[in-house]
Amino acid sequence: MIEYKGRYIVNMRTYKIHDTCNTKKGCKLNKMQQSNAVFYNKLCEAKNYPNEITPKTETCKYCF
């Protein structure tokens, strides 16, 4: 089980952003390993992962 350290979690393997306050059935957040998670409190920061010049993230269709 992943320990939440921020509202938004980016999966470093899939580049999906998950909203911990809005998880729905079908979201695979429960299967993510802690070592693959990057935590953010602001959505704009999560969307810029890994950096502002080459962001690679997209939002999870179940959480958003």
Residue 3, both tokens? 């320990």
Residue 2 resides in a domain:
no
> The tokens 């953010």 sit on which residue?
40
pLDDT tens digit sequence for 20-64: 999 899 998 888 999 999 999 999 999 999 999 999 999 999 999
3 pLDDT band (50/70/90 cuts)?
A: confident
Q: How many domains does the structure of the chain reveal?
A: 1
Residue 28 resides in a domain:
yes
Check residue 45 and give its pLDDT.
96
Q: Which range marks the domain in which residue 50 is found? A: 8-59
Q: Tell me the average pLDDT across 6-33.
A: 93
Query: Rounded distance, CA 42 to CA 63, Å?
Result: 15
Check residue 30 and give its pLDDT.
86
Residue 24 resides in a domain:
yes
Query: Rounded distance, CA 56 to CA 54, Å?
Result: 6
